[in-house]
Amino acid sequence: MEWVTEKLTGHVGAFLTGQQLNSLTDAGFNGLRNALFEHGVVVMPDQYLDPEAHIDLAKRFGEIDVNRFFNPVDGYPEIAEVRTKPEMTQVIGGTWHSDHSYDPAPAMCSILSARALPPYGGDTQFASMVAAADALSPGLRRMLEGLRACHTDASFGQSKVGLGGEPTAHREPVFHPVLIRHPQTGVQALYVNGDFTTHFEGWSAEESAPLLDYLYRFATQPVFTCRVRWAPGMVAIWDNRLVQHYATADYSGHARLMHRITVAGQPLN
């Protein structure tokens, strides 16, 4: 049985049906992985993964990279809890970002499983950093190709969404190329994000800010995005080297619970 694939938008995202993630053959898993690399984010309805099946699926992609700031799910330290309580006005991940870009080897993919959804809202938006890189003018691309940018986990210290400002979890800032090559496919992608990138190497933060702000706005314009509307049992997997994502905080007064596993990646070139 093959995956049935339906593109979500012109540049990013695909809806995959026809197989169950908890009983994938090797061919089914390879099809899933290839679809992830092609579309940046893949969305599978009606999966209802329990924590064990979620962990087993993640391990097929690679080693699990436990997030050091999120609260774990009870009894499952590998799974991060992405919880919004009804009284919260901000949500985890409510700004454009790429998971773990502050690490020397940033997370390859994130696997998000819907556990409890609000009656409306709480969509996750994705923006293709491949489409953004592709649309840069040749002059700007040439300049960015010679640059690296600094990424830091410092923003977790100011978090107001129940994530740990735990001082021992913080690590030294790291540098990644502004335009990376995807480690598996070689496709070029823009790799700076508003949550974790602070400045260009050799530039001050003040000098970097106007160009970084331009790149964030440019890269997240609607034409490069798709929007995932969650349903019970749904699972989404995104490649953090290909897309940024944004959790939409539009369901104030309601609870939402997602389980997230991040899979280890490799240094970026």
Which residues here bind ligand SIN, judged by CB under 6 A?
82, 92-93, 110, 112, 124, 245, 247, 258, 260
The least distance separating ligand SIN from the CB of residue 236, rounded to whole angstroms, comes to 8
56 catalytic per annotation: no
97 catalytic per annotation: yes
The least distance separating ligand SIN from the CB of residue 110, rounded to whole angstroms, comes to 6
260 catalytic per annotation: yes
DSSP symbols for 212-268: HHHHHHHHTSGGGEEEEPP-TT-EEEEETTTEEEEE----TTS-EEEEEEEE-----
The least distance separating ligand SIN from the CB of residue 264, rounded to whole angstroms, comes to 16
The least distance separating ligand SIN from the CB of residue 260, rounded to whole angstroms, comes to 5
Catalytic: which of 11, 65, 99, 259? 99
Give the E-state strand segments of the chain in sequence order: 4-7, 14-17, 41-44, 72-73, 76-84, 109-116, 124-128, 148-151, 174-177, 179-181, 188-190, 197-200, 225-228, 235-239, 243-247, 256-263
* Nearer to ligand SIN (CB atom), residue 100 or residue 182: 100
* Nearer to ligand SIN (CB atom), residue 117 or residue 130: 117
CB–CB of 99/91 below 8 Å?
no
The least distance separating ligand SIN from the CB of residue 17, rounded to whole angstroms, comes to 21
* Nearer to ligand SIN (CB atom), residue 118 or residue 173: 118
CA distance 70 to 107: 14
CB burial of residue 237 (10 Å; 0-12, 13-18, 19+): buried
* Nearer to ligand SIN (CB atom), residue 47 or residue 110: 110
Chain position whose Cβ is nearest to ligand SIN: 93
CA distance 54 to 45: 14
CB–CB of 226/93 below 8 Å?
no
Catalytic: which of 182, 245, 256, 259? 245
* Nearer to ligand SIN (CB atom), residue 58 or residue 247: 247
CA distance 141 to 179: 8
Q: Which residues are catalytic?
A: 97, 99, 245, 260
